[in-house]
């Protein structure tokens, strides 16, 4: 998995192939971060 988190603006990106390691929780942490940022705004 590759990704980056922007430090000066609220943003980020991730690139990976879910079929390489599928599962219901493989990207759950990304959604948690997203929702935390929305709540903080």
- Residue 11: domain span: 2-40
Q: What pLDDT score was predicted for residue 19?
A: 59
> Checking DSSP bridges between strand 12-15 and strand 2-5, what pairing results, if any?
antiparallel
Q: How many structural domains are present in the chain?
A: 1
17-36 mean pLDDT: 74
What pLDDT score was predicted for residue 27? 76
pTM of the model: 0.56
Please state, in angstroms and rounded to a whole number, the distance separating the CA atoms of residues 34 and 36: 5
The rounded distance, in Å, linking the Cα atoms of 13 and 30 is: 9
pLDDT > 90? residue 39: yes
Whole-angstrom distance, CA of residue 18 vs CA of residue 7: 26
Residues 14/3, Cβ–Cβ less than 8 Å: yes
> Residues 8-26: pLDDT tens digits?
887 778 777 655 666 666 7
């Amino acid at each position: 998995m590759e990704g980056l988190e922007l430090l000066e603006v609220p943003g980020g990106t991730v690139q990976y192939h879910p079929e390489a390691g599928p599962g219901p929780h493989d990207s759950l942490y990304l959604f948690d971060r997203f929702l935390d940022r929305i709540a903080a705004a």
